[in-house]
Amino acid sequence: MSRTFAYAGVSTFDQTPESQIHEIKTAGFAVEPFRIITETISGSMAIAQRKGFSKLLDRMEKGDVLIVTKLDRLGRDAIDVSTTVAKLEDIGIRVHCLALGGVDLTSSAGKMTMNVINAVAQFERDLLIERTQSGLARAKAEGKPLGRPSVLSQDQQQEVKEKSEMGRLSQPSHDSLRQAGKPSCALEITRNLVGLYVPLLG
């Protein structure tokens, strides 16, 4: 006999899963309280990193049914969701998503729905890459600097460049440190090493 489980996840501690559980019961799914798994996780976290969901998988068996309110409960993106559904299908678990009319994602209709969602997600990713590349090309053509802005001013950059070319970067030498009565970095490291090994040799 198949058992019905529910998985409800929220992204912040201010949110509660009760509304999701109520939505599942209102849709006509009878789920025993001990078969309802809830957890607070970031929506950007992959399904494999969600401890609550992993515990749920350990409890479920072939022929069981899993209910979720939205697709993002099954993964952080379309690819993650598809992988999760495929894994559940291999085990023999049916997955119903209320946001998609309660359709079983492992059925023919559910797979067709997932294919459409994946295609749209891939289109959005490709469009984002295309826009990013177009923006970079336009900025480069206009002579705008790419990457993060420099933390140094133009005068500071020129000063560093000049000192670098002259072979004298503005770093204190060992002689200057000794004259100031301060040990050099290399000398300090040597002292620390000696202090570490001398007791061992004794």
Q: Residues 85-112: pLDDT tens digits? A: 999 999 999 999 999 899 899 999 988 9
- The verdict on residue 177 lying in a domain is no
- The verdict on residue 192 lying in a domain is no
Mean pLDDT of 75-80: 85
- The verdict on residue 8 lying in a domain is yes
Distances (CA, A) of 61 to 4, 13, 83, 89, 105: 10, 30, 18, 11, 17
Helix axes 108-141, 78-91, angle to 10 degrees: 160
* Catalytic position from the list 2, 11, 19, 42: 11
- The verdict on residue 188 lying in a domain is no
DSSP state of 59: H
Q: pLDDT value at position 69?
A: 94
Q: pLDDT value at position 16?
A: 83
Give me the residue label for tokens 């009878």: 30
Alpha helices in 1-107 (DSSP H): 18-26, 51-59, 78-91
- pLDDT tens digit string along 119-154? 877 887 788 888 888 888 888 888 777 767 666 677
Length of the chain: 202
- pLDDT tens digit string along 151-187? 667 777 777 777 777 765 445 555 554 555 545 555 5
Q: pLDDT value at position 177?
A: 46
Q: How many domains does the chain have?
A: 1
Q: pLDDT value at position 53?
A: 93
Q: Check if 170 is active-site.
A: no
Domain that holds residue 43: 4-115
Measured on CA atoms in the order 53, 55, 61, 63, is the torsion positive or negative?
negative
Sequence-ordered list of residues with C-beta below 8 angstroms from that of 53, at least 6 positions apart, any chain: 7, 9, 37, 39, 47
